[in-house]
Amino acid sequence: MANVVVVGSQWGDEGKGKIVDWLSEQADVIVRFQGGHNAGHTLVIDGTSYKLSLLPSGVVRGKMSVIGNGVVLDPHAFVAEVEKLKAQGVVVTPENLRIAENVTLILSLHRELDALRENSSTGTKIGTTKRGIGPAYEDKVGRRSIRLMDLKNLDTLRGKVERLLAHHNALRRGLDQEEVSADVIYEELTSVADQVLPFMDSVWKLLDGERKDGKRILFEGAQGALLDIDHGTYPFVTSSNTVAGQAASGSGLGPTAIDYVLGITKAYTTRVGEGPFPTEQQNEVGDFLGTRGHEFGTVTGRKRRCGWFDAVLVRQTVCTSGISGIALTKLDVLDGLDEIKICVAYELDGERIDYLPASQGAQERVKPIYETLPGWKESTEGARSWADLPAQAIKYVRQVEELIGAPVALLSTSPEREDTILVQNPFQD
Ligand code: GDP
Ligand code: IMO
Ligand code: MG
């Protein structure tokens, strides 16, 4: 049985939600393994749009969904998302959703610290989602987090909160902020415990059992490889590993459980927040892509920066995530352009290079070297077979495959679930 990992191959918002939804018909279990409610995954099913941030996209189909230990979970945001989905007719119960007992919790003080840093005039502005993601991961690595299982043991919770606050109140004093009392955090946690604890489970064990029963597991990545804490455009990244390898450690299944890595890849490039973006088009091309692609953030509503497809970046992601094949999305957004550019290499200080250098300074200095392809005037929107695609669009897809060194397994031509062309089924690799 094939288990599939879905990851973003650029800077996020590649259309992971749509593709996970499409694939989840064939899956038994859908697992989130990193990130938190900084993600915004959109599913459109028969004209109805569902926006998921923390919950795996499989909940919409009623599939067993799992939030793995690699996620950082804001319990109040979790309850709010479950309520929001309920209003759309999606039922989320412990029957179809489990949360790892060792998941790290995001608290109000993480959110406040995230916003304080982002709003400060000193330091590097990252353009975060201000959801507290970075500060929560810092506490996890600092070995002082409150984890879900701690809500079950009220005798020791207060001591853990006090230990955490010894660190945070020192930070807050330095930032001229009022200290937080242990009572406030204790109440914040205990007030939500009854709503979250019923979902708690030993996820590694559950997944091991599912695997041994021959069930198909679909891992749903958030963000994208260029936002990875190690492999991304540091420091303009998120605070987790977003590459496919994280699916194993963020869920408790070993890497041998992974059979296929599907990289979700937008037919052009977008980025939200600060940081280098070699192919960015701050001109009519960028406006065209942003308008046709409705490029506004799902979580924060921010306008996404837009540019040409960068094959150098995706080629690198194919390596860092071990991508078996890609799902190329939003091809339809390119309809109507006279010509389309693809970045095939960079120029760095007068030399041609074929990779993204690791240093921040060099990432800012690289200049794209483009190849230009003719566009197409016909519409590809809603196409469901290769026969529906104009010859120039097929040429573009073939050129992308050639340049990134990975085949197109799926092609997406609209936000709708069914507007998807299947080339190679990742579950039947
Ligand atoms: P994710 O974070 O990777 O799940 O992506 P988002 O949901 O944040 O952003 C992708 C957006 O593009 C969503 O609004 C999707 O509904 C939409 N989308 C996905 N695939 C396609 C496609 O092939 N064509 C078009 N036009 N829109 C798409
Ligand atoms: P999905 O799963 C796009 C970006 C933020 C910021 C940086 C750090 O929908 O693809 P954070 O709040 O994580 O500390 O912010 O990462 N970012 C995303 N960009 N899509 C996302 O998720 C993102 N999640 C975080 O804009 O630049
Ligand atoms: Mg998104």
DSSP string, 228-292: -TTTSSTTSS-SS--STTHHHHTTT--GGG--EEEEEEESSEEE-SSS--TTB--SHHHHHHHHH
Burial class of residue 144 (count of CB atoms within 10 Å of its CB; 0-12, 13-18, 19+): middle
Query: Which residues 6+ apart lie within 8 Å of 402 measured at CB?
Result: none
Burial call 185-197: b when 16+ CB within 10 Å, e when fewer: bbebbeebbeebb
For the Cβ of 239 lying below 6 angstroms from any atom of ligand 2, the answer is: yes
Question: What pLDDT was estimated at residue 122?
Answer: 84
Q: Which atom of ligand 2 is nearest to the CA of 224?
A: 10
For residue 274, give the ligand 2 atom closest to its CA.
Answer: 27
E strand or H helix at 309, and its extent?
Answer: strand 309-310
Give residue limits of the domains in the chain: 4-101+200-257, 104-196, 265-428
Q: Is 419 in the pocket of ligand 2 (CB under 6 A)?
A: no
Q: Are 385 and 411 in contact (CB under 8 A)?
A: no
Buried b vs exposed e over 88-111: b needs ≥16 C-beta within 10 Å?
eebebeeebbbbbbbbbbbbebbb
Nearest Cα neighbor of 310 from 345, 360, 353 is 345
Q: How confident is the model at residue 299 (pLDDT cuts 50, 70, 90)?
A: confident
Q: Is the CB of 223 under 6 A from ligand 2?
A: yes
Whether 429 shows a pLDDT value over 80: the answer reads no
CA distance 44 to 330: 14
Q: What is the mean pLDDT of the chain?
A: 96
pLDDT of residue 167: 98
According to CATH, the topology of domain 104-196 is Adenylosuccinate Synthetase, subunit A; domain 2 (1.10.300)
Amino acid identity at 123: G
| 196 pLDDT above the threshold of 70 | yes
Phi and psi torsions of 176, nearest 5°: 60, 35
The token pair that represents 68 in the structure block: 């793995």
Which residue in 19, 2, 3 sits closest to 265, CA to CA?
19
Cα–Cα dist 114/224, whole Å: 20
Please tell me the pTM assigned to this model.
Answer: 0.97
What separation in Å is there between the alpha carbon of 12 and the centre of ligand 2?
Answer: 7
Known binding-site positions = 12-18, 38-42, 129, 143, 223, 238, 298-304, 330-332, 412-414
Whether residue 221 contacts residue 5, with contact meaning beta carbons closer than 8 Å, is answered with yes
Structure-derived torsion over alpha carbons of residues 101, 180, 239, 143, reported in degrees to the nearest 10: -50
Question: Is the pLDDT score of 1 beyond 70?
Answer: no
Instruction: Give how far Cα 408 sits from Cα of 10, 214, 262, Å.
Output: 15, 27, 9
pLDDT digit string, tens, across residues 248-261: 999 999 999 999 99
Report in angstroms the alpha-carbon separations of 226 from 22, 84, 109, 276, 363: 24, 30, 27, 10, 12
Question: CB of 128 within 8 A of CB of 38?
Answer: yes
Give the distance (Å) from ligand 2 centre to CA of residue 54.
13
Contact 327, 19 (CB under 8 A): yes
Q: Of 21-25, 123-127, 356-360, give the lowest mean pLDDT range.
A: 123-127
Task: For tokens 């989320």, name the residue.
Answer: 92
Token reading at 356: 């993204």
What are 229's two structure tokens?
Answer: 């804490």
Q: Does ligand 2 have an atom closer than 6 angstroms to the CB of 15?
A: no
Residues with CB under 6 A from ligand 1: 8, 12-18, 40-42, 44, 264, 294, 298, 329-330, 332-333, 412-415
Tokens of 276: 């280098």
pLDDT confidence bin for 68, thresholds 50/70/90: very high
* Omega before residue 235 within 30° of 0, cis: yes
DSSP state of 59: G
Residue with CA closest to ligand 2 atom 11: 128
State the distance from the centre of ligand 1 to the C-alpha of 55, rounded, in angstroms: 17
* pLDDT attached to residue 298: 80
Catalytic residues: 13, 41, 140
127 C-beta closer than 6 A to ligand 2:
yes
Q: Which atom of ligand 2 is nearest to the CA of 8?
A: 10
Which chain residues have CB less than 5 Å from ligand 3, an ion? 13, 40, 298
What topology does CATH give the domain 4-101+200-257?
A: Adenylosuccinate Synthetase; Chain A, domain 1 (3.40.440)
Instruction: Write down the pLDDT at residue 297.
Output: 85
CATH of 265-428, one of 3.30.420.40, 3.40.640.10, 1.10.3720.10, 3.90.170.10: 3.90.170.10
Residues comprising the chain, all counted: 429
Q: Summarize pLDDT for 80-96 with one digit per residue, the tens.
A: 999 999 999 999 999 99
Distance CA 399, CA 171 (A): 51
**Whole-number Cα distances in Å, 254 to 24, 209, 278, 330, 352:** 21, 13, 36, 33, 39
38 CA distance to ligand 1 centroid (A)?
16
